[in-house]
Structure 1
Amino acid sequence: MGVTVRIGYAPGAYDLFHIGHLNILRHAKSRCDFLIAGVVSDEMLELTKGARPFIPLAERLEIVSHIDVVDRAVAEVVPDKVDTWRELRFDVLFKGDDWRGTPKGIRLEQDFAEHGVEIEYFPYTIHTSSTQLRRALTAATEGRSAAV
């Protein structure tokens, strides 16, 4: 009788790595046996969010791959997460609960239901987000260049 290993996938930009990222990865690892962190490529972030990350993909991959709860870090280079699943064959995909009930979250759930993949949501870290950090860095940079 074989042992079933539950493989989890936690995609994210992981730009300006902060406690919210660490919390998602810790929660994800507690819900699976083998955790793959999908680090979204610079090009995919520009396509989906309209902005390039501050930290380049190679550096974000290096950081995430050294988090003790991450068993494997991969570059996510295609826009459709089902295509990523076809390559990695994970059993559960983890997202922050800011996706729950949104059009993107509902579409994700529907797409993966066809393949028997669960979607699990974890609490979004409201007090720290990459968006807030990005705004603060942009404001600080703009303020510095205006003063020069």
Structure 2
Amino acid sequence: MPHTVGYAPGVYDLFHIGHLNILRHARSRCDYLVAGVVSDEMAALAKGNRPVIPLVERLEIVRSIRYVDAAFVETVPDKLETWQQVRFDVIFKGDDWRGTPKGEKLESDFRPVGVEVVYFPYTVHTSSTQLRGALDALAGGAAATLSRGAEG
């Protein structure tokens, strides 16, 4: 009986419904799901800023989701290098990667080793970037209120 190992990489910062949806859908497409939790340093390289939630906490949150069989700390940008350590059969990404240079590179990198790239619908209405922006705006508003209070 074939045993399909799936890999769902992500920063998983400010865990939200989009993260849960990816993990749920991924688990339905494999027998064993490994969630790759991107390190703080790798997230900063990829997104330009460090996650709000520290790695050890993000790892514990993701590891505790019932759809996840194992969590792996991703410390290198090359997914093929990660594959050499984890040995998954399918990798799951949001469909915002489909048809982009990053998505096409992912597909061409994995084609020779037989790893399938599966895209799931990206949760447009909720993202960690949007949540971070809202938090930053709230923090900015609070700082402005505090400074106005100090002036008055």
Q: TM-score range by the shorter chain?
A: over 0.9
Amino acid paired to 2:22: I
Aligned counterparts of 2:100 and 2:139: Cα–Cα separation in 1: 32
What is the distance in 2 between the residues matched to 1:100 and 1:16? 24
Q: Which residue, out of 75, 98, 101, partners 1:100? A: 98
Shift of 1:147: 1.4
Residue of structure 2 equivalent to 1:83: 81
1:92, distance to aligned residue in structure 2 (A): 0.2
- Percent identity reads 68
| Long gaps (5+) in structure 2 | 147-152
Separation of aligned partners in 2, 1:104 and 1:51: 19
Normalized against structure 1, the TM-score is what?
Answer: 0.97
- Find out whether 1:132 has 2:130 as its counterpart: yes
How far is 1:145 from its partner?
1.1
The runs of 4+ residues in structure 1 deviating greater than 2 Å are: none
CA distance in 2, matches of 1:138, 1:74: 29
Distance 1:120 1:18 in 2: 21
Where 2:113 maps in the other structure, the secondary structure is coil
Unaligned runs of 5+ in 1: none
Give me the whole-angstrom Cα distance separating, in 2, the residues matched to 1:138 and 1:102.
29
Larger Rg: 2
- Aligned-partner SS, 2:119: strand
Residue 127 of structure 1 and its aligned partner are, at CA, apart by 1.0
| Count of residue pairs brought into register by the alignment | 146
What CA RMSD, in Å, does the superposition of the two structures yield over aligned residues?
0.6
**Partner Cα distance (2:69, 2:32) in 1:** 6
Distance 2:145 2:41 in 1: 32
Partner residue, 1:9? 7
- TM alignment of 1:113-124, pairs within 5 A: 113-124=111-122
Deviation of 1:114 (Å): 1.5
In the other structure, the counterpart of 1:45 is 43
Which structure shows the bigger proportion of residues in helix conformation?
Answer: 2
Deviation at 1:4, TM superposition (A): 1.5
